[in-house]
Structure 1
Amino acid sequence: MNGSIVVMGVAGCGKSSLGAAIAQAEGLPLVEGDHFHSPASREKMSRGTPLTDEDREGWLATLGEQLRAQPQGIVLTCSALKRRYRDTLRAAAPGLRFAFLEITRDDALARVAGRSSHFFSASLVDSQFATLESPVGEPGVLRLDARLPLEQLQQQASGWLHGQEASA
């Protein structure tokens, strides 16, 4: 595969799990977007305070640097909730593709509430859905049902990356 892919969606949709599965299947490095949040942003989220566009600006610039630094391709996990966030990433890596893990609010809330070792507060799930601008219809976007088994999601994403039709 030549190029990069962002595994995106709201908290609890399975970005990290699918990102790792795609990275392994495609032989690409995995870059966890959460690892690049500032300490101040992590603190805000752990308190249940949503990030602002300004909070995300430096984070997105750093993720863009990660994309530019690895032109052979990477798998990046990033919520990429707004079109302008995705466009920032696209500017860093022309031809960038996105795998959008679509999930319901209730499913996302249940998953986030069940995580014990993550800084993200379950109280932020509603703000994620309020911020989300669906990427469906944008170029280079694959919509995936986050409720499907991980292996099936990875196969759909890998098939799509290699030009095969995905049945999402």
Structure 2
Amino acid sequence: MASEEHQNKSLAAKAAWPLLVLTAALQVYMGLSSVAYVFMGVANPASGLGGWTTATIGGLQSIAAVAVFVLAARRDLRGTTLAVAGSIVLGWLSTLPSVVEQGLDFHGDDRVTPVYFVVSPLLAIVAATLAWRNVYLIAAALTVSAMTFLGILIVIAFAIIIAMYGF
């Protein structure tokens, strides 16, 4: 295994595993929430066949994310990175029926969603390519979990701002 051959103890290597596991946990949650939309009576992300497509792909996303936990337990950095990237791409695919039906507003109030819609799959594809070629595995792991890390930083910044100034 590549992870056993390179016993890299750098800070980046130590940070990669928790970020991958946290990203996988969030992907499981997102996949299961996509499945639940159809059964909860909540407004579907897309109507008709699009809602069922979203639920099916969300279920596949959850399965891929659960595979991350198995691969992480085996300490297989390459496989873990590939599984996280696959889960992210499946999560992106599950949003396509609603984007086709409702469109993607690049000029609306929420400017983060279109950026996330474009950047997230690109980062996953780059990380999967690096992991597939078995080069720069730590960089691939950090790349695939970059959006999760960015989200953590935003939550920390928000908490600091609230602690300093209040609501």
- Give the TM-score band, short-chain normalised: under 0.3
Higher RCO (C-alpha under 8 Å, 6+ residues apart): 1
Q: Rg bigger for which structure?
A: 2
TM-score, scaled to structure 1: 0.28
Q: Give the alignment's TM-score, normalised by structure 2.
A: 0.28
Structure with the largest fraction of helix: 2
Hey, which of these two has a bigger chunk of strand by percent?
1
